[in-house]
Structure formats: C-alpha cells, structure tokens
Amino acid sequence: MSVKYLKLLYQMNLINLWINKMSKDNLPHALILELPEGFDNLKEIIDSFKNKQNYILEINEHKSSSGTTIGIFIEDIRLLRDTVKTQRKGVQTIVIIHDAAKLTEQAQNALLKILEEPHRNLHFILATKRIQSLLDTVRSRCQVKKIAPSNLTIDLPADKKARIKFMSDGDKFLESRLIKDSEFYDKKVKVFESAKIFISGSQLDKMALITSIKESRDEALDLVNASLTVCKFMITSHYNNDLCMKTDKLLQTGESLRKNANIRLALLACVI
C-alpha cells in the first residue's frame, strides 16, 4: 500500500466522518471544527455545502496593512459583520474561518459580539488545530466537533517508532500523522534537528535559523514546540536551572507568537 494512497485514505476518512454527521443533523449556529495534525484541506467540506440555498464566506489569514504580521484581524471581522447584515432572505450563509487560531484577540472579541446575537440562516465554522488559542468566551458560544484520525495501523521499524513517540510527545493525532505521512515525518525530523540548534547551538547558528524562518508563524511555532519537547526530555534526564530558564523563555515565546507578535522579534527574545 503506497504512502500516497494511505494519505488519501486518511484524509477522506476524516472528512466523510464529519460530513455524514452534519448531513443528519442541522448545522449549529457556531461550530469549532477541531482538526488533527495532517488535516490541511477543507475543500471537500466546503464543497459539500455549496448549493443554491447556501452562500459561503471564507476567511483566511493574510498580511496586516503594515505588512509586519500575518493573521486575521479586527478589520476582517468588521467587514464580515457588514457583509452578513445584507444577506439575502431564504439563503443560508456559512462563514468558514480556515485557521481560527490566527484570529487576533481583538478579532476574536469582535467575532464574539456576532456570535452572541444568533441570526437565522447564519452559521460559523471555525477550523483550527490549536483550539486552546481561542478565547474561552468564544469557545463557550460554539459547539465543538473533534475529528479523530483513522485507526489504520502500519508496521514500522523500532527506531522509527521510538522517534515518532518522542516527537509526538503523547499527542495521538500527531503520532498518527507521523506514522502515515512519510513527507510530514521527514519535515518534522528536520524541525527537531533545528530545535537542537535553537536550544544549544552557537549564537551565530541560532541567528541563521531565525533568519531562515522569515515570516512563517506556523514554522516558528513548530520550532518552539519541538524545542519544548527536547527541553522536557533533557530536564527529565538531567535537571538543571539553565534548562528550566530556557523552557520558561520558550513558553513565553510560544505565547507571544500565538498572540500575533512579530515573529523575528519573538524568536530573538528567546535566544538573546
């Protein structure tokens, strides 16, 4: 069975589980779609809602007007609010936010005001792999649907199993993706190699690593999360204050990145 086929089977199994459920029930006013690692395409879900009775609005991350950050901003939600006010009667409007974790805190608060006043035939789908990045108040206004990975198992060499167990750090969704997607596995291995440099490399190597990440918030968060996993392992095997301080800095950096801080400055603050 080829890796390509396994990846297709994995994706379609996740999609069909959710779509079949929604076809039996009414779509809720607001839904958080909690996605596992490896689910990176909502096209099939969006296509399932496309018909003459539905109007689909999609919101994606983009650069800010200043060009310094990437996310979904309060201006986007204000535009959304004005757009849904003019929705046509008898037409169901479905707003799909592709990565709700990219909503700034201001944008989430603006969205909350819309969610607090439900309108007939207006529905929201907030897709995210990092539900903890959403405000508690936003989560409380939404139903949550978690898509679980398929139960397909594959035999792996012992050394690869050990590496996957280490990199996934107890995250079953991530473990499943690492097992089934060889390209993703190779990419994650490189992230962990970079994490070793970020923790214990020379200052010059750290600066070069930060420069290579450029404007990718996801890459930066992957690096920080991998570094935290490495630090956790090192602390359990050889505790020292320096590692604890590095862990605290990494936690602060991750929090800053999730709050849409400047990527380069946030990473620099972690190593200087």
**What are the angstrom distances between the C-alpha of 162 and each of 100, 159, 168, 175?**
32, 5, 10, 11
Span 210-240, pLDDT tens digits: 988 877 888 899 999 999 888 888 877 676 7
User: To the nearest whole number, what is the mean pLDDT of the chain?
Assistant: 80
For residue 157, count other CB atoms closer than 10 A to its CB. 8
pTM, to two decimals = 0.53
Bridge pairing between strands 30-34 and 143-146: parallel
Contact 118, 89 (CB under 8 A): no
Q: Where are the beta strands (DSSP E) in the chain?
A: 30-34, 54-59, 62-63, 70-71, 92-97, 122-128, 143-146
**Least confident window among 9-23, 80-94, 160-174, 241-255:** 9-23
For residue 33, count other CB atoms closer than 10 A to its CB. 23
Q: Is the pLDDT of residue 244 over 90?
A: no
- What pLDDT does 223 receive? 92
Mean pLDDT, residues 95-124: 91
Span 83-93, pLDDT tens digits: 888 777 777 88
Span 2-59, pLDDT tens digits: 333 344 444 444 445 445 455 444 678 898 988 876 665 566 666 666 666 778 888 9
* Alpha-carbon radius of gyration of the chain: 20
